[in-house]
Amino acid sequence: MIGRWTRFSVKHRWLMLILWLILVAGTLPLAAGVTKHLTTNGFEIPHSQVNWATTQVSHIHTGPAPQPLLVQQISRSAAQRLGVRLRIPASQFHAIGPNKTLFIPPAGFKVAQAREFRHLITHHHGTTEVVSQIQIGNLVTHDASQTLRRSAVLAMPVLAVMLLMVFGSVAAVSLPLIIALAGSELALAIVSIISRHMHLSVFLTDIVSFLALGVGVDYALFISTRYRQDLDDGMSVEDAVVDAMSHAGRSVLYSGVAVALAVATLLFGANPYWQGLAVGGAVSIFTVLLATHTMLPSIMSLFGQHVHWGRIRRPDFHLWKRISHGVTRHPVWALMLGLAILLPFARLAPQIHMSTPANLATMLPRTNPLRQAVGKQQQIDGAGAIAPIAVAVRLPGSLRQPANWDTMARLAEHLRGMRNVASVSSPSDLHLPSQELAAAVAHPRRAPTAVKKGLSAFIPAKSSTVAVLYVVAKTGPNDARTSNLVGRIDAHLKSWLPPGSRAAAGGLVPVLRSFNQTTQSHLLLIIAAALAVALVVLTTATGSLLQAVLGVLFDGVVALATAGFLVLMDRHQLFGLERQPLDSSITPLIFVLLFGLSMDYEVILLHRIQERLGGDRPMAQAVEQGVRTTGAMITGAGMIMVVVFLALIISPLQVLKTLAVGLSFAVLADTWIVRSLMVPSATTLFRRHGFWPWRPRSVQASNDPNT
């Protein structure tokens, strides 16, 4: 099938290239606007109690209210002097650094006054920025999109140099770059379309782009290397293209399907965030596979013998000849060496702790003024004031019944008495009799304006059955004690309220608490599904159940070692990271991508060994030749992938730094330790049973290790 399609692509190469040119040009506007519909949300679990409560809160409309402002470029004293014009007390201005001031609006401050104050600051060459979780979310979105541009500029020159060293010719370098760029552009365009119909994370642009870039380069490297070797062996251009696609292309197809299915296991995350990452990640792989199996054969046939143009001389240290010889001659020592490197890291894996921060400001660097402003606000108003816990309550009957308002008042007092509660805002703060509150709900047009305005802060629009109370914790949103408070509130609501009631805690802290707990509880299921994918794909690709089991076991060791390395990185604040839990919104993705990407190198290596087996040829000899011919290619591809991922480390967002460092360690461990030492040594030790139950049908056409 692959051979017939390849011959079609070769014979109609100009048609194929023109179609791809039209496709890329037509989807370029979509790819350029990919961030328009991406979001920092999507953590809610549909149909959950938390989601119900949060939805009730979102229906409360109290009208615009002045928010704290970050004033920059002028001194605190200058800001205070400007505030005097609007009769703003000097005590509302709080210095957070040179020419950086936090302004907290006083009680009764109007929106029009806030607008006039901001105009005064701007007129005197200062700047103002709203201090809110929404504004911080927008900044995270901006930083994530900027990372994509900056890291691409940083990665491309380094990538080009590495490709030149791996490929050895200028013309050959262009092949993976064309495939990777076309695949990533098409992936972003498709993500842009999907983002209009489902929640997709803002981090997806970086993940999709660099995943498509990395695997696109890898796949083109594997196929074009085989193509160039066939040309050197005297094959015609068409036969060389067909042979490369039939062997390396087949391996790449299995690898790509494995990566896409591994990413798709994130669907088990059970919320829109993970579902979006699963869809976006799988799309990026399939677009690269499409480019690899349609455009790449056409380009290779167009290049022909000119693929060697610009060849450079590379020193040959016979590294892989020595490694392959040593591994097959001393397989036990090679296996023990690999385990000795990985197991010390793996021992730290149980200490891994993941949590997505509810205080979004902590995603930003400590030096970021907006994060500093939030910290100052917490010092002034209390650590938990920036993210109140909203308790939505629906009692039997409606709020037209005075008895239900009495129940609400008692509930507010009960919540105030709970441990770690700083304050509770409730309708009882209006100091009105229950009968008057019930009458205001029953006949809103007759109610005094002050009463209607007061109730609007606690009752969702067009509702007469639900009221919301706001609980402020003494501890900050990221503190485990605040999360525990949410759990205690939910437990008390179930036991304290009368039968037939519905109540739950909602808002940012409960939503992310639910997300963290769900991710933790589903992580083993996601990993098990990814390992099952690896087991099935490897068995199908190689015909060997033994190699599939070994691949899964070795992947498990690398996953544990990667988790241990992340613990070590967090503990010692390596790579400029600060001490805080690993973000649960990104860490599971590292393991899923590890299981998928490891299949790339595993399938390529095992297929090459299988090509060398046949007749009475010893397993050790086939393994040695397989490692010798693929070692440089696999480790080179791994290093290219590392360069692509490490480019993300320039991001100011710790979550993207974690992704970059974690994936880089995983790929290095997989290519240099598992594929270079552990898989060859284990295969050698099993001798003729190394690919059980698969058996070679016949001796391969060529015994030359360089073919």
Sign of the torsion angle spanned by Cα atoms 640, 645, 651, 654: negative
Q: What is the mean pLDDT of the chain?
A: 88
Instruction: Identify the band that residue 77 occupies on the pLDDT scale cut at 50, 70 and 90.
Output: very high
Residue of 705 and 350 predicted with greater confidence: 350
Local structure of residue 505 (DSSP, 8 states): E
The pLDDT value given to residue 203: 67
Q: Between helices 13-32 and 170-194, what is the axis angle to 10°?
A: 50
Instruction: Identify the band that residue 650 occupies on the pLDDT scale cut at 50, 70 and 90.
Output: confident
Instruction: Identify the band that residue 172 occupies on the pLDDT scale cut at 50, 70 and 90.
Output: confident
Q: In residues, how long is the chain?
A: 707
Rounded to a whole number of angstroms, the distance between the first and last alpha carbons of the chain is 23
* C-alpha–C-alpha distance, residues 203 and 209, integer Å: 10
Residue of 62 and 284 predicted with greater confidence: 284
At 190-224, the pLDDT tens digits run 988 887 777 676 667 767 777 888 888 888 888 98
| Rounded percentage of the chain residues whose pLDDT exceeds 70 | 95
Measure Cα distances from 342 to 301, 510, 554, 575, 677 in Å: 43, 37, 10, 20, 12
The pLDDT value given to residue 699: 42
Instruction: Identify the band that residue 139 occupies on the pLDDT scale cut at 50, 70 and 90.
Output: confident
The pLDDT value given to residue 280: 85
139-145 average pLDDT score: 76
3-state SS assignment for residue 272:
helix
pTM, two decimals, is 0.83
The pLDDT value given to residue 315: 67
At 417-440, the pLDDT tens digits run 999 999 999 998 999 999 999 999
Residue of 655 and 409 predicted with greater confidence: 409
At 486-533, the pLDDT tens digits run 999 999 998 888 888 999 999 999 999 999 998 888 888 988 898 898
Q: Check pLDDT > 70 for residue 461.
A: yes
At 42-65, the pLDDT tens digits run 677 888 899 999 999 988 877 667
DSSP letters for 91-118? GGEEEEETTEEEE-PPTT--HHHHHHHH
The pLDDT value given to residue 557: 95
Q: Check pLDDT > 80 for residue 67.
A: yes
At 440-451, the pLDDT tens digits run 999 888 888 888
Q: Check pLDDT > 90 for residue 129.
A: yes
Instruction: Identify the band that residue 703 occupies on the pLDDT scale cut at 50, 70 and 90.
Output: very low
Q: Check pLDDT > 90 for residue 585.
A: no
Residue written as token pair 């100091």: 431
105-118 average pLDDT score: 90
Most confidently modeled of 140-149, 227-236, 466-475? Answer: 466-475
Q: Check pLDDT > 80 for residue 669.
A: yes
* C-alpha–C-alpha distance, residues 358 and 615, integer Å: 63
Q: Check pLDDT > 60 for residue 474.
A: yes
Residue 109 identity (one-letter amino acid): F
650-679 average pLDDT score: 91
Q: Tokens for 345?
A: 């890291």
DSSP letters for 218-238? HHHHHHHHHHHHHHHTT--HH
The pLDDT value given to residue 704: 43
- 605 and 672 Cβ atoms separated by less than 8 Å: no
The pLDDT value given to residue 705: 39
At 254-277, the pLDDT tens digits run 888 888 998 899 888 877 888 888
The pLDDT value given to residue 697: 64
* C-alpha–C-alpha distance, residues 696 and 607, integer Å: 11
The pLDDT value given to residue 45: 81
Local structure of residue 317 (DSSP, 8 states): -
The pLDDT value given to residue 700: 40
Strand segments (E) across 31-146: 69-72, 93-97, 100-103, 127-130
Q: Check pLDDT > 80 for residue 702.
A: no
The pLDDT value given to residue 217: 83
Q: Quote the distance between the C-alpha of residue 576 and its chain's center.
A: 19
150-158 average pLDDT score: 76
* C-alpha–C-alpha distance, residues 465 and 649, integer Å: 50
At 587-622, the pLDDT tens digits run 888 888 888 888 888 988 999 899 888 666 789 999
670-677 average pLDDT score: 95
Lowest mean pLDDT among 166-170, 256-260, 401-405: 166-170
Residue 217 identity (one-letter amino acid): V
Contacts of residue 125, Cβ cutoff 8 Å, sequence gap at least 6: 73, 74
Is the peptide bond between 693 and the residue preceding it cis, with omega within 30 degrees of 0?
yes
